[in-house]
Amino acid sequence: MAFFSHQVCRGFSSSAVRNVVIKHVTIIGGGQMGAGIAQVAASTGHSVTLVDTNEDILKKAVKGIEGNLKRVVKKKFADKPEAGEEFIQKALQNVSTSTDAGSVVRDSDLVLEAIVENLKIKQDLFGGLDKLAPAHTIFASNTSSLPITDIASSTNRLDRFGGLHFFNPVPVMKLVEVIATSATSQETFDSLLNFSKKLGKTSVSCKDTPGFIVNRLLLPYIMEVIRMYERGDGSKEDIDIAMKLGCGYPMGPFELADYVGLDTVKFIMDGWSAANPDNPVFAQSELLTKLVAEGKLGKKTGEGFYKYK
Ligand SMILES: CCCCCCCCCCCCCC(=O)CC(=O)SCCNC(=O)CCNC(=O)[C@H](O)C(C)(C)COP(=O)(O)OP(=O)(O)OC[C@H]1O[C@@H](n2cnc3c(N)ncnc32)[C@H](O)[C@@H]1OP(=O)(O)O
Ligand SMILES: NC(=O)C1=CN([C@@H]2O[C@H](COP(=O)(O)OP(=O)(O)OC[C@H]3O[C@@H](n4cnc5c(N)ncnc54)[C@H](O)[C@@H]3O)[C@@H](O)[C@H]2O)C=CC1
């Protein structure tokens, strides 16, 4: 079954290709994923520049990072509060912010994008940065569902472009999917694997296939959940309880959707249904469309399927 049309990419060799040791990272998008990745990268000794469209978002992101570092320290340095405080300060010193990606990528070994799940916006971003970043700089996307090949096609560094797919919440979830397109060089792939290891994550190698590993399996489950609810076969509360207590999942599907963000869930589902218009498994959800149109995007806006204080 074809989920997305994948562009076939021709690799090109570049004199810049080598094994890059990633020290300085530019992370574009200071939302829940970008801020989480910045937190983990900074606390593992990387120098991080976090980029977003305005100062208010960046201030909120840094405040969130500080709060989440405190949660980490509470556990990791339970008996050593001074060492814990030092850990927080060191990590925060490793983070700087900017609203001008073009000016900061010049010093980056890795530019990792975690902006809105929209192919055109991601392509525009990388297409512009490709002209400004040094030759050795690796580009990577944290996309949940878009083909890395299609995002990379806006650049001239197909060999130095891969996927790094983190899981939410980044400081807690141990997995990173490392994605190679048919054009990603072995050196780039190895650099991304090494970087994931330095972050303390376990990585799995993925091909650039729809949904990689986790979301390819998660999405059909989610699609069926929506239809079950829309048919009235179970309340959202009962479905959530059933999946938590029946399968041992930490969150039920509706809680998870609110946590991920309903706008992101909708972007993903739109992509899957557009690529599979005749397959009822991927049909659009009226309920999801309505909630997103009303600005009820989940936990981040205070209301989604559930209300948050
Ligand atoms: C109509 C239905 C539609 C459904 C759609 C569903 C959407 C799916 C589409 C996929 C979209 C794309 C997403 C993607 O690409 C990939 C993903 O990321 S999928 C999501 C993966 N994540 C999960 O599945 C999360 C599952 N949940 C959990 O693991 C836990 O519930 C969670 C850790 C989030 C919270 O745990 P809980 O016990 O409930 O709460 P606590 O607050 O006590 O936290 C526990 C523990 O963890 C620490 N902690 C939590 N958050 C952070 C943080 N941000 N930073 C640091 N530390 C954190 C907290 O301090 C606690 O530590 P203790 O020492 O145990 O006190
Ligand atoms: N939410 C989740 O659970 C997961 C999301 N992802 C992926 O990560 C990416 C980001 O998702 P979230 O962090 O949840 O989204 P979010 O909505 O929390 O954050 C996105 C951020 O990007 C910023 N942004 C948008 N366009 C920009 C641009 N051109 N330049 C700079 N900043 C820009 C926005 O202002 C916002 O702060 C998406 O591709 C998503 O599919 C991947 C794994 C899990």
Active site residues: 144, 165, 177, 215
CB 217 near ligand 1, within 6 Å:
no
Q: Whose CA is nearest to atom 41 of ligand 1?
A: 71
Whether 307 contacts 254, CB under 8 Å: no
pLDDT digits (tens, 9 = 90+) for 268-297: 888 888 888 888 777 888 889 999 999 999
**30 Cα: distance to centroid of ligand 2 (angstroms):** 7
**222 Cα: distance to centroid of ligand 1 (angstroms):** 16
Average pLDDT score over residue span 56-65? 98
Domain 24-207 listed as CATH 3.40.50.720: yes
Give the chain's mean pLDDT. 92
CA atoms within 13 A on the CB side of 218: 19
**32 Cα: distance to centroid of ligand 2 (angstroms):** 7
pTM as predicted: 0.93
Average pLDDT score over residue span 20-42? 97
Atom of ligand 2 nearest to the CA of 61: 37
ipTM of this complex prediction, to 2 decimal places:
0.95
Residue type, 26: T
Q: With bands split at pLDDT 50, 70 and 90, how would you rate the model's confidence at 4? A: very low
Residue 180 and residue 149: Cα distance in Å, rounded? 9
Whether 94 contacts 13, CB under 8 Å: no
pLDDT surpassing 90 at residue 7: no
Residue 93 and residue 116: Cα distance in Å, rounded? 27
**295 Cα: distance to centroid of ligand 1 (angstroms):** 22
Looking at the CA of 50, name the nearest ligand. Answer: 2
Q: Give strand pairing partners of 202.
A: 175
pLDDT surpassing 70 at residue 224: yes
Closest CA to 240 of 228, 230, 255, 226: 255
Look at residue 227 in the predicted model and tell me its pLDDT: 85
Average pLDDT score over residue span 173-188? 98
Centre a 10 Å sphere on the Cβ of residue 128 and count the other Cβ atoms it contains. 15
Query: Measuring from each residue's beta carbon to the nearest atom of ligand 2, which residues come in under 6 Å?
Result: 28-34, 51-53, 57, 114-117, 121, 125, 142-144, 166, 168, 260-261, 264
CB 32 near ligand 1, within 6 Å:
no
For the chain, the distance separating the N- and C-terminal CA atoms, rounded to the nearest angstrom, is 43
**E-only strand ranges, the chain:** 24-28, 47-51, 95-98, 110-113, 138-141, 161-166, 175-180, 202-207
CA atoms within 13 A on the CB side of 57: 16
pLDDT surpassing 70 at residue 194: yes
Domain ranges of the chain: 24-207, 215-298
Q: DSSP per residue over 199-229, as a string?
A: TT-EEEEEES-TTTTHHHHHHHHHHHHHHHH
Looking at the CA of 51, name the nearest ligand. Answer: 2
Fold observed for domain 215-298: N-(1-d-carboxylethyl)-l-norvaline Dehydrogenase; domain 2 (1.10.1040)
pLDDT digits (tens, 9 = 90+) for 87-146: 999 999 999 999 999 999 999 999 999 999 999 999 999 999 999 999 999 999 999 999
Same fold flag, 24-207 and 215-298: no
